[in-house]
A and B are shown apart, each in its own frame.
Chain A
Amino acid sequence: MARKTPAINTGSMADISFLLLTFFLMVSSINSEQGIMRMLPQKSNNEDQPKEVDIKERNILKILVRSNGDILINGTTIIRNNEILSKLKDEAKLFFSNPQNLPNLPEKKEKQCGLLGTYNVSQGVVELTSDNGATFESYIMVQNELSKAINELRDELSFITYGKNFDKLDESLADERKSIMQAIPLNIKEKTE
């Protein structure tokens, strides 16, 4: 005759799992890993190679972050104390896009850009320098504005060609995404010396 198995008291089970739950809540953080991605320029240790590739004057936008928070563009235009940061964005956008092909703004070169075919890619490079005393926060603000400029340009191109914004191009449209990234590259040179 089969004996009835006694029921196991599971009341404490909930307590144990609650304890585990609170433990995980405390030691974990939700998605804190976010930030501005950048590539540092490669160090050329080969002495035969010229240290820096010569870039034409018109293709460089020099941005300097001063210790007091001022931002100098090509040594002249001054944005004082982060007042009008959108001005910096507009300046960068104009520099990278050069819509009227002005001779003092970067030249463009035809390049094969994946699905977009040949595209006139801007040769512009932003050279970002900072004073020793400048805070990291103001530096990031400038980086953020530059990213914003590039993102807006990518959005515009993406909207014209694919009918959606750049950040809406997801996994299934990876090739489209890549082509746009090739057509509008993020050329920021962070000077370290």
Chain B
Amino acid sequence: MSRFRKNEKKETPEINTSSMSDIVFMFLFFFMVITNMRESETKVKFKPPHASEYQKLEKKAAVATIYMGEPINSEAAAKAIDGKIAVQLNDKIANPVPIDFASDIKSFIKAERDDRIQKQEDPNIITYSLKIDGDVQMMYVTTLKEELRNNNALKINYATKKEKK
């Protein structure tokens, strides 16, 4: 008898963790579905202005982003307009106005449009999301808009933040 009792010594039962991974994977997929990847690293300061009448961008794939704001790294600072405001096209900093600004915008828009055409989509569906810092003066914004117009990029979206109430 004593021989059997030895084997029956009580042990804390191990917790079954196999379902844990399932739960976490479920979380993972959930987040992968509802989120969209941060498409590019921002090299300029960008704090969007508040607005209440915003719309959500429907087609996320057909969005080209243009940032505008104070530079936060040295590369951006070197190319800033008047040493103050830098313009970032997707992930590249554009050259300042007197030098190559117009041609930079032009080639950027052309690249975006060509990309759409290659995917057999209408290049006119591209929305240009203008992520402009609230403190930027309008003259810089106007220059940018004029360039967009010159290149027939008319569908724009001013990025805003939800208004605090």
Q: Measuring CB to CB, which residues of chain A are less than 8 angstroms from any residue of chain B?
A: 10-11, 13-14, 16-18, 20-21, 24-25, 27-43, 65, 67, 130-137, 139-141, 143-144, 147-148, 151, 190, 192-193
Contact = CB atoms under 8 A, between A and B. Distances in A.
Interface string B107-144: 00000000000000000000101101111111101100
A40 B18 CA distance: 56
B142 A10 contact: no
B24 interface: yes
A67 B31 CA distance: 43
A65 B138 contact: yes
A21 B53 contact: no
A35 B148 contact: no
A140 B138 CA distance: 10
Contacts, number: 158
B138 A130 contact: yes
Nearest to A17: B24
Nearest to A143: B158
Q: Which 8 A-B pairs have the closest CB atoms?
A: A28-B35, A137-B134, A147-B53, A13-B21, A132-B139, A130-B138, A17-B24, A33-B57
B154 A30 contact: no
Nearest to A29: B38
Contact of B51 (A10, A36, A130): A36
Given A35-B158, A40-B148, A140 B28 contact: no
A136 B162 CA distance: 16
B160 A34 contact: yes
A136 B37 contact: no
Given A39-B154, A136-B137, A27 B142 contact: no
Contacts of B20: 13-14
B2 interface: no
Classify chain B: how many residues form its interface, as a range. 35 or more
A132 B56 contact: no
Contacts of A141: 49, 51
Given A21-B24, A24-B31, A131 B138 contact: yes
A187 B130 CA distance: 20
A34 B17 contact: no
Nearest to B63: A33
A137 B49 contact: yes
A40 B132 CA distance: 16
23 contacts: A14-B21, A17-B24, A21-B27, A25-B31, A32-B159, A34-B159, A35-B51, A36-B54, A36-B158, A37-B156, A38-B156, A40-B145, A40-B156, A67-B137, A135-B135, A135-B138, A136-B132, A136-B136, A137-B49, A137-B134, A139-B141, A144-B53, A192-B146
A151 B138 contact: no
B99 to A, nearest CB: 21
A20 B50 CA distance: 33
A33 B60 contact: yes
B55 interface: yes
Contacts of B25: 17
Contact of B134 (A30, A31, A140): A140
